[in-house]
Structure 1
Amino acid sequence: MKLPPLKSLPVFEAVARLNSFSLAAEELLVTQSAVSHQIKQLESYLGESLFLRTGRTLALTDEGRQYLESVTTALLQIERASEQLLGEETSRLRLACFSSFAVRWLVPRLPELQRRYPQLDLSLEMTTENPVLSDRVADAFICINQPSQAFSYELLYRERMFPVCSSDYWEKICRELALNRQEGDDRITLSPEQLARFPLLSTYSIYDRKVGDWHNWFSAVGQSLPVTARVQHFSHMLLALEAARYHQGIVLTNDYMLSNRDDADDFVRLPCHPLATGYQFHFAWKTSRRRERGIQILRRWLVEEAIADGLRADSESD
C-alpha cells in the first residue's frame, strides 16, 4: 500500500480549513515552521502545489481543493471508526440546513431529539442558500432536490406555498369583504382578485426575483398579478412571516414555517389555492458514510418527525 506521509494529512486539513499556517500551528500545538515543513513534504510527495501563496494571502489550488475533499472524508472516517472501537457513545454530527427550516421547524424539536438520543451531539450550520455538499461544510445536510450523485437522499417535504395572515388581520379581511363568518371559515373561499386588495408581503429569496412568489401564485390559476397590488418586499421568508404576525398583510409561506408549535395559532391559512413550487427538501449524506451511526439516527428521526407533522406521507419516498 503506497501512502503519503500520514502525519502531514491532518496538518494539510487544518491549514485548508483555517486558511492560515499560523492558526493551524496554534490549533495543532506545533510551530509554524513545523506546519510549513509538513505541507512542503506532502507537496513534494504529490508533485503538486496545494496552496497559492501571494504575500499574506493563502488559497487552495484546484488540485488542493480536490485533494482536501478526499482527505477530509478519510480523516473523518478514521475518527469515527476509532471512536467505535474505543467504546465512545457520543456521535458528533454537523448538520447544514436552511435558516428558515432550522428556526421554524428543526430547533423547536431538538429537545425531543436530545431526550431520545442523548449520545447524539448535533451542531447546526444555517445557510441562506442551498448548502454546498462537502465534508468541509458539514457531515449531513438538508437541501433542495438532489444536487450530487456522491450523496444519498431521504425525502422530507415536497414544498407547497399558500397565503396566510395574522388572526387579527383575518378579521379585518372578513370585515372589509363583508364575508359571512356565521357559515364558518370552511365555507369561505377567497379569489385572487380579493386577495390583491390587501398588502402582499413578498419574499425575494424564494424565486430569486422580485415578487416571484406572488407572480407564480397568480400564474397557477392563469392570472397575472394586478398592477394595482400593493407589495412589500423582504429578503427572507422569516422576515415576511414576522411582518404578517404583526398584521402588515398577507404572506406566502409553506407547511414547515407554520409548524412551530408555540405560535402556529397566531396565523390563519387563507382559503385560497396552494402553489406547488417543485422544490423537494431532502436529508442528504455522503453515500460512503452511510454506515455511520449518528447519520442513521438523525435520518430516521427526521423522517419520523416529517411524517408526524404531515410534511411527508408515511408511504412517500423519492
Structure 2
Amino acid sequence: MNSSISAGLFRKIPLPALRIFEAAGRAQSFATAAHELSLSPSAISHAIRKLETDTGLTLFERSTREVRLTRHGELLLEHIQRGLEEMRRGFALIAADEPKPLRLHTAPSFATQWLMPRLADFVRDHPNIDLRFSASTDYADFETDAFDLDIVYGEPRPSPHEKIPLALESLTPLCSPALAASIRSPQDLYHQTLIQCDVQMRQWKGWFEANNLLPPTHYGLRFDRSSMAIAAAADGLGVVLESTLLAERELQSGRLLAPLRHNSREIRYIGHYLVHPRRLRPHDAFEVFKHWLLSALGPADGQASGPHPP
C-alpha cells in the first residue's frame, strides 16, 4: 500500500484524529489515551483504525497485551507533536498578547565579534522586538528549526532561500602594539609566532603568496574560531591574519594594530551572507532587523576575490 499522503488527503484528516493518535502514541496505550481524553478505549481504537485506513499506513503493531508504534508511526508522531507544540505556542502568544520572537541563527564569531557589541543600539531603538539568538557553524534549517534569519560564514549551500552578501571584508595581519613595533615589512613575519584560524576561507598561505613570499611551514597557534584567534593576538600571543570587520572592536580600542596595512597586499572577500526564506508574510520584525543589519554593515560593493593592492 502506498505510504505517501497527498496534500489533499492531509487536509481531510480531522485534527481530533491526530490528537487521539498523539496521545495513544505517546503513551503506547489505547487505554491510557482514552483516560487522558475522556473517551472509551474502543473509541480510541476505532479512531486509530480509521486514521490508518485513510492514510494507508500501519501506525501501530497490536498484540493481546500491548500496542507499539511502527516505524511510520514513530515518524508521524514526531511531526505531529512538533505541530501541536507550535499551535500551543501560538495560542500562548495570543493569550499573553506578546509579539512573536524574531529568531536569528548566526555564525559564532560574527555573533561575538560584530553583532553583540552593536546589539545594545538595536535593543534601545526597538525595545518591543523580542530577539532569540542561536550560534553554531551549522546551517539553520528553516523548516524544522523555525529560524527567521541565518547569518552564515562562506558561500551558502544551494537552496531556494534568499541569499544576500554582506560587507566586503579585508584580511590583513593583526597583532598587539608591542609586537607591531617590530614589524615593518612582510618579511618580518617570518620571525613572529603566526596564529592560524583553521576554519577561515583565506589563510596565511594565500596571504604570503599574494605578497610574493614563500609561506612558512610552521604556525605557533591554531584555533577553530576567529574570535579565539583574535583574542589570542590581542593578548600578545602572536600575529593573526583576520578580518578587520570581525576585529573592529579591538582595532578601535588599540588592543590590535595592522602594522602592514599600508605596505602589503590585503585579501578582500565577502565572508558572510544573510540567508532567509522567501516568505509572502514575513515576521513583523523581520524587515526591521534586516534593514538595521544591512545599514550597519554598509554596502557589499565588490566581489569576493584575491588580493587588494596597497
TM-score strictly above 0.5: yes
2:188 alignment partner in structure 1: 194
- What does the per-residue CA deviation read over 1:124-159, in whole Å, with 9 as the maximum and x for residues that have no partner? 1011x2423324332211023342432112322234
Question: Distance in 2 between the 1:295 and 1:317 partners?
Answer: 26
1:258 aligned to 2:267?
Answer: no
1:245 aligned to 2:234?
Answer: yes
Asked whether the 8 Å contact 1:201–1:240 carries over to 2, the reply is yes
Q: Describe the SS at the equivalent of 1:253.
A: strand
Question: Distance in 2 between the 1:123 and 1:45 partners?
Answer: 39
For residues 83-232 of structure 1, what are the structure 2 equivalents within 5 Å?
88=97, 90-127=99-136, 129-137=137-145, 138-143=147-152, 144-171=154-181, 173-174=182-183, 190-191=185-186, 193-207=187-201, 213-227=203-217, 229-232=218-221
Question: Distance in 2 between the 1:198 and 1:59 partners?
Answer: 62
Question: Distance in 2 between the 1:201 and 1:95 partners?
Answer: 30
Q: Describe the SS at the equivalent of 1:304.
A: helix
Deviation at 1:94, TM superposition (A): 1.1
Deviation at 1:249, TM superposition (A): 0.9
Deviation at 1:270, TM superposition (A): 2.4
- What does the per-residue CA deviation read over 1:52-106, in whole Å, with 9 as the maximum and x for residues that have no partner? xxxxxx9997x959x959x86xx68x949x96xx995624111110110000111
Quick one: percent identity of the two aligned structures?
Answer: 21
Aligned residue pairs total: 261
Asked whether the 8 Å contact 1:105–1:256 carries over to 2, the reply is yes
Question: Which amino acid in 1 is paired with 2:107?
Answer: F
Question: Distance in 2 between the 1:89 and 1:283 partners?
Answer: 27
Deviation at 1:225, TM superposition (A): 1.0
- Structure of higher CA gyration radius: 2
Question: Distance in 2 between the 1:46 and 1:301 partners?
Answer: 47
Deviation at 1:196, TM superposition (A): 1.8
Asked whether the 8 Å contact 1:258–1:264 carries over to 2, the reply is no
Question: Which amino acid in 2 is paired with 1:306?
Answer: L
Deviation at 1:236, TM superposition (A): 1.8
Asked whether the 8 Å contact 1:164–1:268 carries over to 2, the reply is yes
- CA 1:11–1:273: 2 relative to 1, 3 Å: farther
Question: Distance in 1 between the 2:292 and 2:19 partners?
Answer: 32
- What does the per-residue CA deviation read over 1:207-246, in whole Å, with 9 as the maximum and x for residues that have no partner? 4xxxx7111222223433134x553222222221111111
1:186 alignment partner in structure 2: none
- CA 1:162–1:151: 2 relative to 1, 3 Å: same
Question: Which amino acid in 1 is paired with 2:265?
Answer: H
Q: Describe the SS at the equivalent of 2:163.
A: strand
- What does the per-residue CA deviation read over 1:257-299, in whole Å, with 9 as the maximum and x for residues that have no partner? 12227964211012232123x5542222110255322211111
Question: Which amino acid in 2 is paired with 1:288?
Answer: R
Asked whether the 8 Å contact 2:229–2:240 carries over to 1, the reply is yes
Asked whether the 8 Å contact 2:270–2:303 carries over to 1, the reply is no
- CA 1:118–1:233: 2 relative to 1, 3 Å: same
Question: Distance in 1 between the 2:170 and 2:48 partners?
Answer: 50
- What does the per-residue CA deviation read over 1:152-199, in whole Å, with 9 as the maximum and x for residues that have no partner? 12322234321100112212x15xxxx5xxxxxxxxxx22x2212211
Q: Describe the SS at the equivalent of 1:225.
A: coil
Question: Distance in 1 between the 2:265 and 2:273 partners?
Answer: 25
Asked whether the 8 Å contact 2:164–2:274 carries over to 1, the reply is yes
Question: Distance in 2 between the 1:11 and 1:203 partners?
Answer: 52
Q: Describe the SS at the equivalent of 2:122.
A: helix
1:302 alignment partner in structure 2: 293
1:233 aligned to 2:227?
Answer: no
Question: Distance in 2 between the 1:302 and 1:96 partners?
Answer: 14
Asked whether the 8 Å contact 1:163–1:253 carries over to 2, the reply is yes
Question: Distance in 1 between the 2:132 and 2:252 partners?
Answer: 24
- What does the per-residue CA deviation read over 1:107-134, in whole Å, with 9 as the maximum and x for residues that have no partner? 111111111112211111011x242332
1:275 aligned to 2:270?
Answer: no
Note the aligned Cα RMSD (angstroms).
4.5
- CA 1:295–1:233: 2 relative to 1, 3 Å: same
